[in-house]
Chains A and B, each alone.
Chain A
Amino acid sequence: QSALTQPASVSGSPGQSITISCTGTSSDVGGYKYVSWYQQHPGKAPKLIIYDVSNRPSGISNRFSGSKSGNTASLTISGLQPEDEADYYCNSYSASSILLFGGGTHLTVL
């Protein structure tokens, strides 16, 4: 099984919105609701920001939202803030009970 496909980098200005895509197959992203997103700042452990495609854990800003269409999941961050600059990873459950990560997307807040 291959990693899920994410753009290597995205950028936006403070206050703008950006969207990060995560493309898989019908055996992973398209086949299950178990898609999650993680934010990772340098030298830190990843932090869960979206789970089950579109749910936010307690304490996560509503500026973060998730969706899915077919085999592609998306993370949207609205009202960009400087502290949003980080790496973002998607994760999906897949057939054969394994989990897959995307390659990661670096977000630059200009």
Chain B
Amino acid sequence: QVQLVQSGAEVKKPGASVKVSCKTSGYTFSDFYLHWVRQAPGQGLEWMGWINPNSGGTNFAPKFHGRVTMTRDTYISTAYMELSRLRSDDTAVYYCARDLGYSYGPFDYWGQGSLVSVSS
């Protein structure tokens, strides 16, 4: 069965970076784009970007350009999202999600979420 298992909770100080992992199983990793979506406490979902696991190509929401990096390790079927220059408003649950439609969505499988807390 398809599974996306994310890394655990992180606590970071403002200005630091965080790297969240998303280990996939149950399907061919390179066949499906992976997206990252975040949700601040009590707020809605916010799309951050995607990575093409086959080519490594990426595309980001404009507000994250310059601060986010998405990478993958095809040998261990794992994707990574790194967010730099963290601010308090980056405190959120970060989800990875598999794309059924080659970057257009929808997101048919989701990770369990990784809480990132940013506080001095």
Residues on A facing B (Cβ under 8 Å): 1, 3, 32, 34, 36, 38, 40, 45-48, 51-52, 57, 87, 89, 91-93, 97-104
Q: Give the distance in Å from the alpha carbon of A99 to the alpha carbon of B101 in the complex.
A: 12
* Residues of the B chain whose Cβ atoms lie less than 8 Å from the Cβ of A104: 44-45
Task: Enumerate chain B interface residues (CB-CB to A < 8 A).
Answer: 35, 37, 44-47, 59, 61-62, 95, 97, 100-101, 103-108, 110-113
A1 CB contact (under 8 Å) in B37, B59, B62 = B62
Instruction: Determine which of B44, B59, B110 lies in contact with A102 in the assembled complex, contact meaning CB atoms within 8 Å.
Output: B44
10 additional A-B residue pairs with CB within 8 Å, beyond A48-B107, A51-B101, A100-B47:
A36-B105, A45-B110, A46-B37, A46-B110, A51-B105, A51-B108, A52-B106, A91-B106, A92-B105, A101-B47
Main secondary structure of the interface of A (DSSP, over half): strand
Minimum Cβ distance to chain A for residue B101 (Å):
7
Ordered nearest first, which 6 A-B pairs have the shortest CB separation?
A: A36-B106, A51-B106, A45-B110, A104-B44, A34-B104, A101-B45
Are B59 and A98 closer than 8 Å at their CB atoms? yes
A3–B61 CA distance with the chains assembled, in angstroms = 12
When chains A and B are docked, how far (Å) is the Cα of A33 from the Cα of B33?
A: 18
Residues of B within 8 A of A89 (CB): 44-45
Contact in complex: B104, A93 (CB < 8 Å): yes
In the assembled complex, which residues on chain B have CB atoms less than 8 Å from the CB atom of A51?
A: 100-101, 105-106, 108
Cβ-neighbour of A91 out of B47, B108, B112 (below 8 A): B47
